[in-house]
Chains A and B, each alone.
Chain A
Amino acid sequence: MWATNLKVVAIVLGTLALYTLIANKIPQVQSEVPQTLTLGANVTPEQLVAAGEKVFNGIGGCTTCHGLGTRAPNLLTDEKGAGTIGARCGKREAGKDCKQYLYESLDDPKAYVVAGYQPIMPTMTKQLSPPQIWAVIAYLESQGGTVDVTASDIPAASAAPAGGGGGGGLAGGSTDPKAIIQAAGCLACHKLDGQGQVIAPDLTHVGSRRDAESIRKKILDPMSSIAKGYEKLAGIMPKTFGSMMTASQLEALAQFLAAHK
């Protein structure tokens, strides 16, 4: 019986080993989490193209369809004699230059479906941030054309301070309080204007309980004061928000909440 048991074990382990081996021999592709792209006010075309290539080949998921020539037009190689995308983008729509055409194609792909293909492309402006979108456009322009994307094309709220390297802060450094609340995940515990959880104090009328100074202090040091009825939850609000926000973001958020009377 031992011999039979050993054979059974060997067959089970052998089968598992075979499947594991095959799965490890094929190309290994990991799905990465999109990283925030911060571009300085003096970003160069070369930096934009390099950033765009990463987005195109990575988190943008563009290579899934483009480049194969069956699901979507080939962008990196010649497409039916019209050249690569940088060479043909300016001729696709009358009255639209390359940059404009590419942006609109990413913003409303269904409006520019090339004959012979299906309207399957998702709206990329909903999936990528403005800096990522403009970096991709620069990269596509570089494929046989001239890169004319500049830092001035990228919305100010998304661009980092001059000097590049990322200005830090939540929500790409935006000072829009709603964007900061969203990025910091405040609504996972607090409720505000009918949205969010009710685990921590409701912030809808926080301005009637605290002034801007008190709110600022509470964000920087959550243990500085505990709301009545929430003593059991004292100490569970992260102490890191102060270091995650820029000074202007903290000020914008404090003023915004203080106005919620």
Chain B
Amino acid sequence: MTDNAFVLLQAAADTTRAYGEFPVIGARQFVWITAELHLMFAAFVLGVPMFAVVTEAIGIFGGDDRYDRLSKEFTRLLLVAYSATAIWGALLVFGLSTLYPRFWAYLTAIFAPSMWVYAGLFFVESFTLYLYYYGWDRWKKGRAKLGHWTLGILLNVWGTTVMFIANSWLTYMMSPPRDITPTTDPTSIKLWHAIANATWMPINVHRVIANVVFGGAIVGAYASYRFLAATSDEERAHYDWMGYVGNFIAMSALIVLPFAGYWLGREIYQYDQSMGITMMGGFMSWLWVIQAFLIAVLFLTGNYYLWIGMGRIPGAERFRPYTKYLLMVLVLGAIVWGTPHTMIADSKELAAMGGSHHPFLGALGVMSAKNTAVNLMILTTFLSFLLYRRANTRPVVPWAKSGTIIQGAMFALAAGVVLFYGIRGYFVEAIVRIGFSVYQVLAVLSCIVFVTLIDILMARGAQSLGTIQWGKMPPRSQYALFILAVTFTWLMGLMGFARSGIRQYWHVWQVMQDTSKYAATPALGYASKMISLCVLIFLTLVAFVFWLGGLAEKSTFVPLTPGASPGTRGASHVGH
């Protein structure tokens, strides 16, 4: 790029003025809100297509048409959500280029080519979505249907690639390669060198999984609202089932999410010890207590929904006595996980504490106890799913009894491995202890995989104890789905604050300092107000999107006239 061309490119932004100001709310707040809402909508438009393409595949290969309708119903909502994503993204770019022009000039000097690719892919992604949705009824059968499903896969490929590109910009801000210093000319930095930074891939993986969780949770909230508003048993049954599928996907992906989080945390520590310590033991240490509380709400609410759901399954009553034990493990696990460990404190506070940790609770605050707690909570949640799955069937294969014993033994073995390494962790050095979490995770994942495998084989030809009575759910179960969606969204905002906040007063960690009046990173109380505001705006807009979806549906609804044949009514609905 020539000097003159560069000057012209920068002309849109005041490049010598390092910072601008936004009226009333301030520059940082403007960028915070636009970035957060852009990210939430982006997660929605990435998570829901993953959900849609999986459910469409179940419809195609499982022959159950309900899944196909479910998939289409959600793709319809994506059309409006894409516009919202683009609008918030444009606001964010305008905000950055006018309020943080010097920083924006720095980023564009490095990443400009990837920004053009990003814009191009967003364009391609949008048109793939239009083809995917508007071609739904045209490419309905045979090979055409498989072609249509391929469009859904492509939609996910474009979306994920777009996310990976955007992730490279923000992870560069967190972990620029070590050879880059404050005096490095940004135009001399190789693009791939900046993209492939230390935290890029861990963030990519973490966000892909989190988007699946988020997509499932939003689907669950949508279904729960439609359930509560339903006027017929048939409609209620449909949305009850949809809510279950959404919750199932969200909870299944949530189980894997902590493992991706560990990887990201480890990469941060390896990149820069002081950044890791700031995150876990510095001014952000209390954040993890709040996170533990939110995770506890998610696990408890998710399990609560399943346990209530067992009320609509004939035969489930035989498992009901076990739920109190499951609840006990979850509550104890949540308490241990929420026990503070290394709180930032001044000398007076340290003296008042006795110089170290709490004499009793300090032992529960270390990672050995926390890893043990979370792994046992995951195992417990999996057991809830298993009981739910088995509720209305009785296996008839000759090896059913021994199969169940083997499954029980696998649970016991996994719990044993988790407990063993949890206790052993207290007697070894930190560097050895960190490695123990891998064994704990492997034990839990192996248990989940093998127990599920045995269960699928055991369910062959199983005797049915009655069909699931979809729709026979008390309203409180649906409110639980709302709490899940709100909590997932709030947690996303909180983790976003953690990721961004650990840079503290740096735009780019130890390369470009934030010298604006907003350079200090706010305390959690202030951040929580901003997060709540963002979540509220997001949910309000999502409710609007859902309402628009409902409007479109109603506009194609032909009411039954006295003279019309009842047989025509089914055909008058679109989307069901």
Contact = CB atoms under 8 A, between A and B. Distances in A.
Interface stretch (A95-103, A190-198, A207-215): A190-198
Interface in B440-485: 475, 479, 482-483
B479 A74 contact: no
A122 B269 CA distance: 12
Contacts of B524: 23-24, 26, 28-29
- Report the contact-size class of chain B (Cβ under 8 Å from the partner): 35 or more
B356 A68 contact: yes
Contacts, number: 192
A90 B155 CA distance: 66
Interface string B234-255: 0000000000000000000000
Interface stretch (A11-19, A40-48, A144-152, A242-250): A11-19
Nearest to B350: A67
B376 interface: no
Given A20-B529, A191-B185, A61 B521 contact: no
B290 A122 contact: no
Interface in A60-75: 61, 63-65, 67-71, 74
B28 interface: no
A31 B290 contact: no
Nearest to B290: A23
Interface string A1-44: 10010011001110111011011101111111110000000000
Contacts of A27: 286, 343
B184 interface: yes
Interface stretch (B122-130, B195-203, B260-268, B274-282): B274-282
A118 interface: yes
Contact of A30 (B274, B345, B356, B520): B520
Contact of A194 (B106, B185, B357, B531): B185
Interface in A230-245: 230, 232-233, 236-238
Interface string B156-194: 000000000000000000000000001111110000000
B535 interface: yes
- Report the contact-size class of chain A (Cβ under 8 Å from the partner): 35 or more
B338 to A, nearest CB: 11
Contacts of A236: 14-17
Contacts of B186: 197
Contacts of A225: none
B185 A196 contact: yes
> What's the dominant secondary structure at chain A's contact region?
loop
Contacts of A200: 16
Nearest to A30: B523
Interface string B533-546: 00110010000000
> What's the dominant secondary structure at chain B's contact region?
helix
B286 A26 contact: yes
A199 B15 contact: yes
Interface of A: 1, 4, 7-8, 11-13, 15-17, 19-20, 22-24, 26-34, 57, 61, 63-65, 67-71, 74, 76-77, 118, 120-122, 127, 182, 185, 187-189, 191, 194-200, 202, 229-230, 232-233, 236-238
29 contacts: A15-B483, A17-B532, A19-B531, A20-B528, A20-B529, A22-B290, A23-B290, A23-B524, A23-B528, A28-B526, A31-B520, A57-B346, A57-B347, A61-B277, A67-B350, A68-B342, A70-B356, A70-B357, A77-B350, A120-B273, A122-B274, A182-B182, A188-B102, A197-B186, A198-B3, A199-B7, A199-B15, A237-B16, A238-B16
Given A65-B342, A195-B184, A195-B185, 14 more contacts: A20-B531, A23-B525, A27-B286, A28-B525, A31-B520, A33-B519, A61-B274, A63-B345, A74-B356, A187-B183, A197-B186, A198-B3, A199-B15, A230-B7
Interface of B: 3-4, 6-7, 10-11, 14-18, 102, 105-106, 109, 182-187, 225, 228-229, 272-274, 277-278, 281-283, 286, 289-290, 293-294, 342-347, 350-351, 355-357, 429-431, 475, 479, 482-483, 486-487, 490, 501, 504-505, 514-515, 519-529, 531-532, 535-536, 539
